[in-house]
Amino acid sequence: MEQPNRNLALDLVRVTEAAALASARWLGKGQRKAGDQAGVDAMRFVFNSLDIKGTVIIGEGEKDKAPMLFNGEQVGKGIGPEVDVAVDPVEGTNLLALGRPNAISVVGIAPKGSMYNPGPSYYMKKLVVPEEAKDVIDLDAPVEDTLKKVARALGKDVDDLVVFVLDKPRHVTLIENIRKAGARIQLHTDGDVAGSLMAVDPISEVDIMMGTGGTPEGVLSACAIKALGGQMLCKLDPQKEKEKQALIEQGYNLNRIFTVDDLITSDDVFFAATGISGGTFLAGVKYTGDGAITHSLVIRGKTGTVRRIQAYHKWDKLMKISGIKYD
């Protein structure tokens, strides 16, 4: 019998809580980069208190010149396990700036060398389903066929299904096909990671996530999807000629279909997410005057354990030891 070892996800939740507490101050203020910067600074500060040797493989922000923990950045104290790191201090920066739901802070880590590096890829086509449907899906199958198979695997009718889709011009035909098949749709302006998590979360009303979204968000999502036993099929889907040519020049196969096991090759994966603006997935930060309340999801891949944590933060005590000014 293997002895239990340290659950790094319980350290990671401190990182996402810090980013959420800092960035939530910018809720609805229309200052997208300021909110993102607050999350980045808080996340970096707390990350560097952890006993890990971390290398950022997925650092969101590069494609839109936003603040970021950059790809290749070293995080942690430099002692302890060597890990690959995927971060998004504020997933849904537009949601935060506009005061809309489902902005979250997310982190995933896996042993060094086990996390897929997407290089210059910004976008990928994705199909995400829970464990019950993981063996019946085909990324290239017609939408109607996919929905029928997923519905059957879940013991539902097609018109029972709820499909998460990003509300983007590129999805006009996809949305038409889903409606023609009879399934219901949740349209979201942003929130790629949250959508993937909803599709594999047993208490969410979302059954499946479809469409093209961010490649970095896909790898980050894969940490949680793998841990929860779900499946994501995806392939690189460049949206601009410059992105396509960069991928071809660097030898990426645009026809390859990836699974979660291709994106994260180890089962020893950890994931944490904390709600920022609240919504259908995770409740947001609630400031109480003398502190705040946060809501987080914490997952350990090796055991499949999922924890939902409601934390109460007290400014008078926290500010005595924290280098981040939350209040």
| Annotated binding-site residue numbers for Mn(2+) | 36, 60, 88, 91, 217
In three-state secondary structure terms, 308 is strand
Give the whole-angstrom CA distance, residue 124 versus residue 274: 24
| Annotated binding-site residue numbers for substrate | 91-93, 123, 168-170, 190-192, 214
Give the orientation angle of helix 192-200 with respect to helix 215-228, to 10 degrees. Answer: 20
Give the whole-angstrom CA distance, residue 175 versus residue 210: 10
- What is residue 116's DSSP assignment? -
Contact by Cβ (8 Å): 18, 274? no
| Annotated binding-site residue numbers | 36, 60, 88, 91-93, 123, 168-170, 190-192, 214, 217
Amino acid at 123: Y
In three-state secondary structure terms, 34 is helix
Contact by Cβ (8 Å): 180, 144? yes
Residue with tokens 């070892």: 5
Residue 24 class from Cβ within 10 Å (0-12 exposed, 13-18 middle, 19+ buried)? buried
Residue 141 class from Cβ within 10 Å (0-12 exposed, 13-18 middle, 19+ buried)? middle
In three-state secondary structure terms, 67 is coil
Distance of CA 154 to the CA centre of its chain: 24
